[in-house]
Chains A and B, each alone.
Chain A
Amino acid sequence: MARRVAVIGVGNSKFGRRDDVSVQELAWESIKEALHDSGLSQSDIGMVVVGSTAYRGIELYPAPIVAEYSGLTGKVPLRVEAMCATGLAAALSAYTAVASGLVDIAMAVGVDKMTEVDTSTSLAIGGRGGNYQWEYHFYGTTFPTYYALYATRHMAVYGTTEEQMALVSVKAHKYGAMNPKAHLQKPVTVEEVLKSRIISWPIKLLDSCPISDGSATAIFASEEKVKELKIDSPVWITGIGYANDYAYVARRGEWVGFRATQLAARQAYEMAKVTPNDIEVATVHDAFTIAEIMGYEDLGFTEKGKGGKFVEEGQSEKGGKVGVNLFGGLKAKGHPLGATGLSMIYEITKQLRDEADKLQQPLKKYIGLVHNVGGTGHFAYVMILRR
């Protein structure tokens, strides 16, 4: 029987273009905050997992560098990588170590410094996030293209509009402007989104997340440790789901949602013994605006095909049925790949502790959900957290 595990400390660096720091300094920003938040020091941590995709930075093997800089030498057994879902993959590894009894306290650090290469190089690395041999090599797929293929199909099958996608961006920017740690802090209008430069039609610049640097950290502890340390606001992990799908996107056979998300969500809901109707606050992986619309549907917040309406009706706003991406989402807060999933845990932890200030979702049940997609729907992780 697995042990119960709680999040007892979280940290989040400022996201953005961070020419002012190296990757290890960036990681330390969130590690320091999480240690402080939990009241622990490095010697209390039994294991550290570093989540980083690394390919866009000079440190291709960042785990030992991060560990050295942060005084965690001797505690870092591995770096994990699951493309854009690297953060939750790291969290899953740390959670598993605690749940299994291997260690009592584990830390997951997510960090990526993505602006060390230029945009064209970054697009080429991202484009290889599909199936290089059979996609990128011949067809020059970019990351936005993969999501655009889903957007076009969703529009054709369900009548989803570019305006509805733009609303996701407007919502993200509105909240990003209220989050001092967000990469983009300027509100935008539907018209500005629609008129922004086309990247890979129907995806435009303002439908896309920025290329960001950042780090986030979460500390996980067993129930016994939570009691021993007298943690007053543990946030319990009550459900975890994970799944994957074909790498070659054409093989998936449908392009209106992510099967990986659907499978991961079902698993997480079953484990947590809750339904989508119980979720009051969530982070939904919105690397591109269509992703959030599909996320509402795949996570069961609304019926398949009704995601566009869901945002249009304000149901994912603060105070709505499910407050979604209230810190600005990947779209405005930023998407440093390795950090994103852990930054999502940071957000939901803050929400469930009623510490989200102006971005606080009114909660009754105190149940939140974290959803992190890797690649172009290759992986999905869903985590359910409860106060």
Chain B
Amino acid sequence: MQIDALPLSIKYKIKYPDEFIEAVKRGEIVATKCKNCGSVYFPPQKDCYNCGKNEMEWIRISNEGEIMTYSIVSQKPQGFENYEDYIIGIVRTKDGINLMAWIKGQPKVGGKVRLTTDNMRIIGEVVG
């Protein structure tokens, strides 16, 4: 016989870098660059695994990009049930950084996007 198990509710708090969240609110996307060896990190990180130093500077990422691939999400997971179908894409920026974004507009592989934000996440608006 199956009976209800005790419910388990887990609440988490997670830490994002202030600089990243503030940039997103300005509609900008930023990465970190190691002042010592020049390694660039996206997602940004404060420790450089290449040279072992932790002196990073924030750099702005180009807002011009190309759609490398995408998928349209119909079956939504917990936490996203109330969203319309959304398009998740991988975009390569003009300066060679690959990042995840929601795509607005008609996507195609190789299509150009202008990167912006919706105050929370990165958005790639299709421009051609």
Contact = CB atoms under 8 A, between A and B. Distances in A.
Contacts of B42: 251
A152 interface: yes
Most buried by A among B68, B69, B80, B121: B69
B88 A145 contact: yes
B43 interface: yes
B16 to A, nearest CB: 7
B78 A120 contact: yes
A249 B88 CA distance: 12
Interface string A197-220: 111111100000000000000000
B90 interface: yes
Contact of A200 (B2, B14, B73): B73
A156 B110 contact: yes
B76 interface: yes
Given A121-B78, A156-B110, A250-B99, A198 B72 contact: yes
B14 A142 contact: no
Interface in B1-54: 2, 5, 8, 14, 16, 42-43
A201 to B, nearest CB: 4
Interface in A119-136: 120-121, 123-124, 126-127, 131-136
The number of chain B residues touching the other chain, given as a range, is 35 or more
Nearest to B96: A253
Interface in A92-120: 116, 120
Contacts, number: 110
Contact of B71 (A136, A138, A156, A203): A203
Nearest to A248: B43
A19 interface: yes
Interface in A132-167: 132-142, 144-145, 148-153, 156-157
Nearest to B120: A138
A140 B100 contact: no
Given A58-B5, A152-B109, A202 B71 contact: yes
Interface string B95-119: 0001111100000011000000000
Contacts of A156: 69, 109-110
A175 interface: no
B74 A19 contact: no
A121 B75 CA distance: 12
B90 A255 contact: yes
Contacts of A135: 100
A187 to B, nearest CB: 24
Nearest to A121: B78
Nearest to A132: B14
A201 B71 contact: yes
Given A121-B78, A156-B110, A250-B99, A140 B5 contact: no
Given A201-B71, A250-B99, A251-B98, A142 B90 contact: no
B21 to A, nearest CB: 11
Given A133-B14, A141-B88, A145-B88, A123 B75 contact: yes
Most buried by B among A126, A140, A150, A200: A140
Contacts of A142: 73, 75-77
Contact of B74 (A58, A121, A138, A201): A201
Contacts of B90: 149, 249-250, 255
Contacts of A133: 14, 16, 43
A255 B71 contact: no
A140 B76 contact: yes
B71 A140 contact: no
A166 to B, nearest CB: 17
Contacts of A132: 14
Interface in B52-84: 68-81, 83
B126 interface: no
Contacts of A145: 71, 73, 88
Q: Which 4 A-B pairs have the closest CB atoms?
A: A148-B71, A124-B78, A156-B109, A140-B80
23 contacts: A120-B76, A120-B77, A121-B78, A123-B77, A124-B78, A126-B77, A127-B77, A133-B16, A138-B120, A139-B102, A140-B76, A140-B80, A140-B86, A140-B88, A141-B88, A141-B100, A142-B76, A148-B71, A199-B75, A201-B74, A249-B90, A251-B42, A255-B68
Given A145-B88, A252-B98, 10 more contacts: A139-B88, A140-B80, A140-B88, A142-B73, A149-B69, A152-B71, A200-B71, A202-B71, A249-B90, A250-B100
